[in-house]
Structure 1
Amino acid sequence: MSNYSIYDAKLRRLRDKVIIVTGGATGIGRAIIALCHRAIEVWDDFTKQYGRIDAVICNAAINKVENLDDMLTETGKLEAPDLSVLDVNLTGTWYVTKCALHFFNKHPQSASQIVLFGSVASYFNTPPLYTYFTAMVTDHIKKVWGDLPANSPTDVARASLLPLFQTDLNGKSFLINGGNITEVEDKLVEAQPVWLGAELDKNMREGQRRLIP
């Protein structure tokens, strides 16, 4: 696994870049904007004023407690699940990605990047992380976590800017832990014949090759 660092000198490479950040009102998104030193506008304003988009950082997300327990309405009918998290985190990301690619394709001569966010729970078997974000348990989690490395919004914001000035990192996945940036999938792919089996690995890779347009 490879580790990366972002120094202030690297951030100066962002000068004159046109960057869209979604979810920039608070937290990580706000920290990204602070690092980029520019207020964020809407898609149409960007294209009219700048004519191009160099990078899109898709940060907008929400977190709500939702499970599959039987919840009944006042009339005794099964209550529909709350899909707002999927609407924002999944569908919203899909829309942003589609829009980004549309505008990137208008300037194929320019290098463009899109940065997406995900949860560490995608890689590690962890108790339901949505409970961590309710106000009632925030202080408790901080006490339990203790002196283990933790990320600040600025830590994650700096990591999100890495692909913008190191474009050879295309298609990489990074884990941010206490400000440390670690690529997490290269070694997993390298070891695929071991954990998947050589024959199945061979077939899967051939299938992937055939599916590429």
Structure 2
Amino acid sequence: MAQFFPSVTADSLKNKVIVITGGANGIGASLVEYCCHHGAYVCFGDKAVSAGVQLAERLCASSASSSRPQAIFYETDVIEYKSILNLFDAALDTYGHIDHAVAGAGVMEIGNWFDPGLTLEDVREPATTKVLDVNLGGCLSVARIASVYLRQNRPMDADRSITLISSVAGFKESPGLFVYQASKHGVLGLMRALRLYLSRSPHLLRINAVCPWMTTTGMVQGIEEAWRNAELPVNSPMEVAIVTAGLLVSQQLNGKSMFVEGGRAWEIEANIDRLEPQWLGEEPSRSLAKGQAVLADGSDWTKSGRNAR
């Protein structure tokens, strides 16, 4: 596993236009602040209106720019497709183009889908799907919309990217977080499904994912004390934000997943592929490689009429 050292220079984010969902608190807010302080223009959305408005006002007040706002905030619910469209419209209308998009909105587990106390009567009522709708559905919608908006008013050779925020739960079991883990696995699956597809014409976009481990946000209040007592590594939201910003400016990176622990980032996709003959077996790995070559970038799956029944 190779360590990733984010390299954000004084000019690498300057004048870039970035759309961020889930930007009012935690990792998202740190990313908004970090990008603005490095000269980017950020249009961010969240359901936490008060926190979002205050952050945008503070960043604009500290900015030397007078022609365009350094940051703009829009109330955004990623469950609502039109709400995400409104956010991207605001960015395009204000700044004329968009360079990068980050799907950062997320929620923690709600209730217990597999509560041992469930009765035959209880289980007749469906459990909430909000965690899936926000964490995975939101990423799907952001990626779909970004794939079009990032192509507007930009030369084809301009670097553009989409970054999805997953979690360590995206690749490592997290007992008790049943729906959360399924959603974060889905986020990594989405990135892997898109990394070849979006890199080809006409999209020509990069897509990557960030998988933070324990990070000091409101999501981890219940286990933070035990974690620190065990002397395990902890991320600050800003440390995860810096890794994320590093992905935005690293034009050679596409289809990568960064596991972030204790402020350090480790790329996991290369070793998953490199070690496949060992964990899967050499013979099935060779067969799988042939099948993947036939699938190529997935374009054949999406040809008109292919999915008709």
The size of the alignment, in residue pairs, is: 208
Q: Of residues 109, 127, 134 in structure 2, which corresponds to 1:81? A: 127
TM-fit CA distance, 1:68: 2.8
Q: 1:207 to 1:20 in 2, by over 3 A?
A: same
Residue in structure 2 matched with residue 193 of structure 1 by the alignment: 277
Contact 1:21 1:40 in 2 (8 A): no
Unaligned stretches of 5+ residues in structure 2: 37-69, 74-86, 181-213, 300-309
Q: 1:203 to 1:105 in 2, by over 3 A?
A: farther
**C-alpha RMSD of the superposition:** 2.5
What fraction of aligned residue pairs are identical, expressed as a percent? 32
Q: 1:140 to 1:77 in 2, by over 3 A?
A: closer
Report the Cα distance in structure 2 between the residues aligned to 1:201 and 1:105, rounded to whole angstroms: 36
TM-fit CA distance, 1:32: 0.5
Q: Does 1:112 align with 2:160?
A: yes
Residue in structure 2 matched with residue 46 of structure 1 by the alignment: 91
Contact 1:66 1:82 in 2 (8 A): no
Report the TM-score, using the length of structure 1 for normalisation.
Answer: 0.87
Deviations 1:116-158 (A, max 9, x none): 011212222333246x99x8x8255423443221011111111
Q: 1:10 to 1:113 in 2, by over 3 A?
A: same
Deviations 1:3-55 (A, max 9, x none): 12235x52541000000010111111100011012424421121122221100
- Amino acid in the other structure paired with 1:97: A
Deviations 1:94-131 (A, max 9, x none): 0000000011233333211100011212222333246x
- Amino acid in the other structure paired with 1:155: E
Structure 1 ranges of 4+ moved more than 4 A: none
Contact 2:5 2:265 in 1 (8 A): yes
Residue in structure 2 matched with residue 172 of structure 1 by the alignment: 256
- Amino acid in the other structure paired with 1:28: I
- Secondary structure at the counterpart of residue 252 of structure 2: helix
Q: 1:77 to 1:58 in 2, by over 3 A?
A: closer
Residue in structure 1 matched with residue 238 of structure 2 by the alignment: 154
Q: Does 1:97 align with 2:137?
A: no
- Amino acid in the other structure paired with 1:188: I
Q: Does 1:59 align with 2:59?
A: no
Residue in structure 2 matched with residue 21 of structure 1 by the alignment: 20
Residue in structure 2 matched with residue 122 of structure 1 by the alignment: 170
